[in-house]
Amino acid sequence: MHIIIVGDGKVGVALTEQLSQEGHDVTVIDSNPKVLEESLQSYDVMVVHGNGASISVLKDAGVEATDLLIAATSRDEINLLTCIVARKLGAKHTIARVRNPEYTEQLVLMREELGLSMTVNPEFAAAREIYHLLQFPSFLKRDSFARGRVEIVEIHVDGASKLADIPLNRLYEIARVRVLVCVVERGGVVHIPDGSFTLRAGDNIYVTAETRDLTKLIKNLGIVKQKVRDIIIVGGSRVAYYLALRCLHAGIGVKIIEQNRARCDELAGLLPEAVIIEADGSRQDILSAEGMASTDAIITLTNIDEENIVIAMYASHLGVPKVITKVNRTEYVKTFKSMGIDTFISPKALCCTDIVRYVRAMQNTTGGSVITLHRMVEGKAEALEFRASEATRHLGETLLDIHLKPEILIAGITHSGRTTIPSGADSFAAGDNIVVVTTSGRPISDLNDIFAD
């Protein structure tokens, strides 16, 4: 596919890397020649210097024949204008990054007039992800499939865990609910395990379970953490605003620490039920005075990764039950985890995942297209949800009789609204939703791609 990416910032670079690795013909447009030179040297892409909203620049990039244009500059208005012009010039699909919450209603009303195939809001996605984690603080990560009926959750196996030194074929004895361990991260290496695989202390495991069974799973594994009743957010960013709205609506107490006076005044007007503190949230005396040691969760959302990390380390040292940290430089997450910080959120990565899912759905040829896509273990593994069609092979055959490609696992089947964590005796039919887990070495855009024959 020919894809044009307008804007070579954090999101643009991440998309360039991912989409070029997946074999797409990528052209990058940016007004900064220095960042274009870096992309040209790092990736197998074409570059065009100039304003992405300009007709002449878009024509130079080949917009008339492009399958998809992604507008990801730092300005919402430029992104929207770029998409309008691109569609007029012949682009088949357009995606715009729109961050301002004031535009939400307009985008719903004018999506067709604007020529938009999709909009993405990294900050909104990050807030949604954080709130999702606060609902079950025992998990390091949660990803939903089948309209929320099934989830893949990340759990750390420590030395005191009931799962340490247990082979997976004995998992039901301990969990006492039907679950499936679909990925194990051990020492930075990703495994798609079978029943003979034995868990060890230090493993991070990704478990597929029905959403209704998550509470039982936590209780039976002995990893129950107290319910989150109040949180402290450090940094009054857009993510903080979106997150505070969700939490306040759910009855969770919210305190935001922000050092910019004008932003504090703005947040106070937008969030009258929240407590807004004008102070430097990176100072220990401020954090102590505002009750960090007694809060249920702290979320660091400043614009500086290093500051977020330091505050999170201090919170972990004080024993705050749940610590969530926003980072942009995801390549260092593994190092950060060794410092005792376990839950990270990257708005950039969430945005890229949504767009890559859309691109893979565009590539589909037999109807079994990608509905949902989530990345795990810093992008080393993927969980994808497909809808089986009449063109899907092996309909009605038991999983035991189906040969899958290496490093691929079917982790969930939803049939007529009922979700099953599958065993070898299960099968799937046209119309069913199928959750597939695989290592990220082979991008999958079609359900038939998982079969070995």
At 141-161, the pLDDT tens digits run 999 998 889 999 999 999 999
Specify the pLDDT at position 370. 87
pLDDT digits (tens, 9 = 90+) for 400-453: 999 999 999 999 999 998 999 999 999 999 999 999 999 977 788 899 999 998
Specify the pLDDT at position 106. 81
SS3 state of residue 12: helix
SS3 state of residue 119: strand
How far is it, in rounded angstroms, from Cα 145 to Cα 221? 23
Mean pLDDT confidence for 76-103: 93
How far is it, in rounded angstroms, from Cα 47 to Cα 57? 11
Of the listed ranges 52-56, 130-134, 440-444, the least confidently predicted one is 440-444
Is the pLDDT at 399 greater than 90? The verdict is yes
* Band (368; pLDDT cuts 50, 70, 90): low
Q: Identify the structural domains of the chain with CATH numbers, from first to last.
A: 2-120 (3.40.50.720), 126-221 (3.30.70.1450), 230-320 (3.40.50.720), 352-450 (3.30.70.1450)
Mean pLDDT confidence for 326-335: 76
148 or 110: whose pLDDT is higher?
A: 148
Specify the pLDDT at position 242. 96
For residue 360, CA distances in Å to 13, 22, 353, 421, 445 come to: 19, 10, 11, 25, 5
pLDDT digits (tens, 9 = 90+) for 215-257: 999 999 999 988 999 999 999 999 999 999 999 999 999 999 9
Is the pLDDT at 391 greater than 70? The verdict is yes
How far is it, in rounded angstroms, from Cα 277 to Cα 259? 8
User: Which among 56, 163, 153 has a CA at the least distance from the CA of 411?
Assistant: 153
- CB contact set of 405 (below 8 Å; sequence gap of 6+): 442, 449, 450, 451, 452
* Band (365; pLDDT cuts 50, 70, 90): low
- Alpha-carbon dihedral sign for residues 214, 216, 219, 225: positive
Q: How many helices (H) and strands (E) does the chain have?
A: 15, 22
